[in-house]
Structure 1
Amino acid sequence: MTVSAKNIPAPDLVPIRRALISVSDKTGIAAFARALADRNVELVSTGGTAATLAKEGLSVRDVSELTGFPEIMDGRVKTLHPSVHGGLLGIRDDAEHKAAMDEHAIQPIDLVIINLYPFEEVRFGGGDYAATVENIDIGGPAMLRAAAKNHAYVAVVTDPADYEKVLAALGENDGALPYRLRQELAAKAYARTAAYDAAISQWFAETLSVPTPEWRAFGGRLKQVMRYGENPHQEAGFYVTGEQRPGVATAHQVQGKQLSYNNINDTDAAFELVSEFDPEKSAAVAIIKHANPCGVAEGTSLAEAYRKALACDPVSAFGGIVALNRMLDAEAAEEIAKIFTEVIIAPDASEEARALIAAKKNLRLLLTGGVADSRQPGLTAKTVAGGLLVQTRDNGTVDDLELRVVTKRAPSEKEMADLRFAFRIAKHVKSNAIVYAKDLATVGIGAGQMSRVDSARIAARKAEDAAEAAGGAPLTKGSVVASDAFFPFADGLLSAVEAGATAVIQPGGSMRDEEVIAAADEHGIAMVFTGMRHFRH
């Protein structure tokens, strides 16, 4: 069923005579309300907001005077009343609407200033079930949607950042607001309630352990308008969801020019990877280029880890992203600053390190306050034509897997440490992924190839290139190799053997596992199965 429109043209300017104010975030509200009162706008308010304004010496009419009905049920019911919604939804130039408003003594409301209960803050702040439910706003979204629908006659403000814009427009238009601004504010109100409802529905799905609810919604708030997207002809924005996961979305940018779309994508990949390493156990550094690692290493210090990571592929590291799992210190900062780097992201940075990095004015330094929890559940989403692909975050970690030796020879203790290290990295390399590692450092990485054997060959070739640049032998000799998924044929394994690998870690599960195991045994290679794959597309 559709509702036919009456096609009454909206006025260009609407004088603001009465404003309804009900805000959870009271930032700037007293000054905004005072400026409205100075323009002889009648202020109508609710509960805590009314008390706040009254303390500021402002004359405020309680909403219960407007409705003739008191707030009840701990304030759950206060604005859900015809006197409020009639005042918001009434079409002023419609004779029938005007007659109904006159008959029921409904006074028009020209401006609504509302922001919602802090549901997202409570949800992500660890609130219990009852507290989270109590912070689901009902009257606020209802009034926002009503006012936004009737934007022909009503202006709706849901963001304190828009207070100055509204006051400026009132000053320019002799106490009235123009239609274009009312449209823009209405669009923002609907986007806000949509994101709010998305957060609520996501929380319910998580709480009830429903992985694929019938309806799925996502919402976020604009943090940054990008200069462009992946390419200059694409427009883009960076939106944050409110999830307090340490990373690029929550980091504080200490210095450097604005992050680009690709910077954010790569920085997220870098920090998620380095967060696989416990900072209490070792220093870890990941260098990322085009969302793939080109070098990762552990060390006794960040400087040592960085040098080992850089040695894997110093050519690709130029202009890359560097992620650290510990506080950036002066020694590491000095090493990183030796080549052109786009972004450094770390939990923190010492004053000495900050001073060193400050000399590179365009180098972005982001501080996260901690590393991310690699086991934390969550969702990822990807758009396809006409739809969304949604899945749980890949929070599987090699530390939680029961590794099964499937060859005659078992890995040595050193090989096993390198195998675990390499499999952590393979999880973050675009599939098909092959990672050679030695002494807790990558020595060759093959990413994103259509054939796993090609990835193995590319990784070995890059190791040869790095060795040639350093004037030594390829570090794949005596290395271990990790594959993000099973070897469908023995040829990929044999390429690794040819490169000098002595042990292999892979998920297993191929119809030809026995063939691959036999090939490993024939060459004296140790192999372990993880039982978990890490495709990354």
Structure 2
Amino acid sequence: MADTPIKRALVSVTDKTGVVDFVKALEDEFGVEVISTGGTARVLEEAGVRVVPIEQYTGFPEMMDGRVKTLHPKVHGGLLARRDNPSHMAEAAEHGIGMIDLVVVNLYEFEKTVANPEVTFDDAIEHIDIGGPSMLRSAAKNADSVTVVSDPDDYDEVLDTMRATGGCTTLELRRYLQLKVYETTACYDAAIANWLADRYDEDFPEELEDAEDAPATPDELGVYLEKVDDLRYGENPQQTAAVYRFADDFAELGSSEYPLVGAEQLQGKPLSYNNYLDADAAWNLVREFDGPACVILKHQNPCGSAVADDVTTAYDRAFACDPKSAFGGIIACNREVPFELVEHAFDENGQFVEVIIAPSYTPEAIERMAKRPNLRVLATGGVGAHAEYELRSIDGGVLLQNVDSVSEDPATFTCPTERKPTPEEMDELMFAWRVCKGVKSNAILVSKGKAGIGMGPGQPNRVDSALLACERADEACERMGVEKGGYACASDAFFPFRDNVDVLAEHGVTCIIQPGGSKRDDESIEACNEHGIAMVFTGNRHFRH
């Protein structure tokens, strides 16, 4: 049916925004009979709308604390009957079932309920809507004849269409609303499933908690994303792209407390696809540090990184690591950005920056950055912990893993070499180890004075990565006018051969931190002993592909 008249509507909403004006227009302009339930009926009656209570319409009272009120053949038969099927219409007439042409329903606020940290398991279960999704699905299934509205934002569109068609809706509109219903119910059901999965350990019976076959990851995973913006293009101009955020019900799946998608953009052009990738890598890396830290990142790798007593000094030292590569990069800070940092970056260094991301900025810093209107300035509102999971799309599916945020205690590390690191060397190694997590594998990070002065990212073999990192470290020392050598080195994975140690020793590395675990560890240990290098094994690998 192309255009279908609206003669009877069933209205039952949790979100009552605009519902009175909408239903008044249905009744006053088009003479629509309105059936309603519970709280919605009371709101409408108080506003002067004539309402048929649901129990009067079905001849059956609400029962079981409201769990059963719309689950009745007079409701679902009136929604599901095919108007063009004579047998359907005959059965409806035989059982006194009238047709319902419009359903206006939105669901119990399950998401809002479980967002309360004090919510009990039983309370959450009671806020799982049964009748609402059932009515939505029934109406949407029969969209050839029935109009279904699940979002108050669509009230005006429905009324405009009815006014243009003499009280009817078009098939095109009903198909659009049909799709919206199934998106809504899919998100709602997935939110419930994900919440139940999160509660598995704390709320399920003890015998299930101890089951050996309890899954570490769900067998089925529901993900619901909401588009934030269309992007100009993807990695290259010929690729289309957009950015999405996890819907509120799914935020725990892949969002941290202060995520990149959700940060307030204070100024600047819209972020590009590549801006998002680089800003994400920089933001995740700078959050590795408890003290004031700054990371300057380019093409997914930290070309500058440092910690200091204050964030401006951390920036100065990070920029000094590699000023050339810092051009066109991303600045990430884990403290509020003051005017002095902005002054150093733009007035003293003349640095061209694509994006700066930090928890917040002083008013003076914001005023100074406004002189660069194309600079994208992101304020996250805080630092917080990393997300729990990360997802990556691959051809035909998605990979899911826990975020690499393992808490590592140096007391659990081992030192197999004859020389042990001094306390100062151990501090330096821990800095290098954290920065190395943000370097593309095969990753080698060389540091001095808690600044990442040499980086060897993404080489097909680890020796080339080590050589590249050392050469950059030597160049940085020449540029900064400090003595070469005395370096600390971090490797994201074990050394397969001793040649890595020999290269590092040749360039003045005095201490190394790496996971260990190679069948040739003995060769690397022997090489370290020959060169007087202290080497620490962490037992954890930090690949970043």
> Please, what TM-score do these two structures have when normalized by structure 2?
0.88
Query: What does 1:16-55 correspond to in 2, within 5 Å?
Result: 16-40=6-30, 41-55=32-46
Deviating more after overlay: 171-180 vs 483-492: 171-180
Aligned position for 1:251: 263
Partner SS state of residue 216, structure 1: coil
Indicate which of 141, 149, 158 corresponds to 2:141: 149
Q: Which residue of 2 aligns with 1:275?
A: 287
CA contact (8 A) 1:382 1:390 kept: yes
- Which string of whole-angstrom CA distances, capped at 9 and with x for unpartnered residues, describes residues 288-327 of structure 1? 2233322221122221111111222223322222222122
Unmatched 5+ stretches in structure 1: 1-10
Secondary structure of 1:344's aligned partner:
strand
Residues 407, 234 of structure 1: alpha-carbon distance in 2 compared, 3 angstrom cutoff:
same
Could you tell me how far apart the structure 2 residues matched to 1:479 and 1:228 are?
42
The answer to whether structure 1 residue 213 and structure 2 residue 223 are counterparts is no
1:276-295 matched pairs, under 5 angstroms: 276-278=288-290, 282-295=291-304
Give per-residue Cα distances to partners, 1:382-415, cap 9 Å, x unaligned. 2222222222222203347722222111112221
* Alignment match of 1:78 (pick from 62, 69, 74): 69
The Cα offsets for residues 41-94 of structure 1, whole Å up to 9 and x where unpaired, read as: 333333233333334333333333332222223322222222222222221111
Matched to 1:60, the amino acid is: V
Q: Which whole-Å CA distance do the structure 2 matches of 1:229 and 1:122 have between them?
A: 38
479-488 vs 233-242, which moves further:
233-242
1:314 equivalent in structure 2: 323
Match of 1:64 in 2: 55
**Matching residue of 1:522:** 530
Alpha-carbon separation, structure 2, partners of 1:499 and 1:36: 81
Q: Kindly state the Cα deviation for residue 533 of structure 1 after the two structures are TM-superposed.
A: 1.0
Correspondence list, 1:14-413, <5 A: 14-40=4-30, 41-126=32-117, 127-208=119-200, 210-241=215-246, 242=248, 243=251, 245-278=257-290, 282-337=291-346, 338-374=350-386, 378-399=388-409, 402-413=412-423
Distance 2:64 2:233 in 1: 49
1:247–1:272 contact (8 Å) kept in structure 2:
no
Equivalent position amino acid for 1:379 in 2: Y
8 Å contact 1:398–1:420 — kept in the other structure? no
What is the DSSP-based 3-state SS (H/G/I as helix, E as strand, rest coil) of the residue aligned with 1:92? coil
Partner residue, 1:8? none
- Contact 1:229 1:261 survives alignment (8 Å): yes
Specify whether residues 312 and 226 from structure 1 end up closer, same or farther in structure 2 by C-alpha distance, changes over 3 A only. same
Could you say if the C-alpha distance between residues 16 and 357 of structure 1 is closer, same or farther in structure 2, counting changes exceeding 3 Å? farther
RMSD, aligned CA: 2.5
Give 1:233 deviation, angstroms. 3.0
SS in 2 for 1:502: strand
Q: Which amino acid aligns with 1:44?
A: I
Is the 8 Å Cα contact of residues 320 and 480 (structure 2) preserved in structure 1?
A: no
Q: Find the residue that maps to 1:66 and give its secondary structure.
A: helix
Give the SS at the match of 1:217. Answer: coil
Percent identity for Structure 1 against Structure 2: 49
Conserved in 2, the CA contact under 8 Å of 1:270 and 1:288?
yes
Q: Give me the whole-angstrom Cα distance separating, in 2, the residues matched to 1:347 and 1:525.
A: 39
Q: Is the 8 A contact 2:161 2:170 kept in 1?
A: yes
Residue identity matched to 1:386: G
Deviation track 1:438-479 (CA, whole Å, cap 9, x = no partner) reads 2222112222222222222222333345456x364686x222
Note the C-alpha offset of 1:532: 1.0
Give the aligned partner of residue 483 of structure 1.
Answer: 491
CA 1:15–1:371 in 2, change beyond 3 Å: closer, same or farther? same
What secondary structure sits across from 2:155 in the alignment?
helix
State the alpha-carbon separation in 1 of the partners of residues 492 and 411 from structure 2.
Answer: 14
AA aligned to 2:287 is: S
Per the TM alignment, residue 247 of structure 1 is displaced from its structure 2 partner at its CA by: 1.3
Deviation at 1:125, TM superposition (A): 4.6
Aligned to 1:5: none
Q: 1:515 to 1:220 in 2, by over 3 A?
A: same
Greater shift in the superposed pair: 385-394 or 333-342: 333-342
| AA partner of residue 137 (structure 1) | D
Question: Following the alignment from structure 2 to structure 1, what is the Cα–Cα distance between the partners of residues 305 and 123?
Answer: 43
Give the letter aligned to residue 312 of structure 2.
A
- 62-71 vs 515-524, which deviates more? 62-71
> Displacement of 1:425 after TM fit?
1.6
Q: Which residue of 1 aligns with 2:512?
A: 504
User: How many residues were matched structurally?
Assistant: 520
SS for the counterpart of 1:191 is: helix
The offset of 1:251, in angstroms, is 1.9
* 1:237 CA drift (Å): 3.0
In the alignment, the residues of structure 1 paired with residue 365 and residue 56 of structure 2 have an alpha-carbon distance, to the nearest angstrom, of 60
- Tell me if 1:455 matches 2:465: yes
1:3 is matched with none
State how far apart, in whole Å, the 2-side matches of 1:38 and 1:232 are: 53
Report the alpha carbon displacement of residue 509 of structure 1 after superposing the two structures with TM.
Answer: 1.0
C-alpha distance 303-190 of structure 1, shift in aligned 2 (>3 A): same
Alpha-carbon offset, residue 256 of structure 1? 2.2
1:117-166 CA distance string (max 9 Å, x none) = 33334445534433333333222222222222222122333333333333
8 Å Cα contact 1:347/1:367 also seen in 2: yes
Give CA deviations for 1:160-186 in whole Å, capped at 9, x if unaligned.
333333333334433322222222222
Instruction: Tell me the distance in 1 between the aligned counterparts of 2:7 and 2:475.
Output: 74
Q: Secondary structure at the match of 2:412?
A: coil
> Where does structure 2 lack aligned partners over 5 or more consecutive residues?
202-214
Partners in 1 of 2:462 and 2:408 — Cα distance?
21
**In structure 2, distance between residues paired with 1:59 and 1:87:** 20
| SS of equivalent to 1:19 | strand
Cα 1:113/1:328, change in 2 over 3 Å: farther
CA–CA distance in 1 between the matches of 2:294 and 2:176?
45
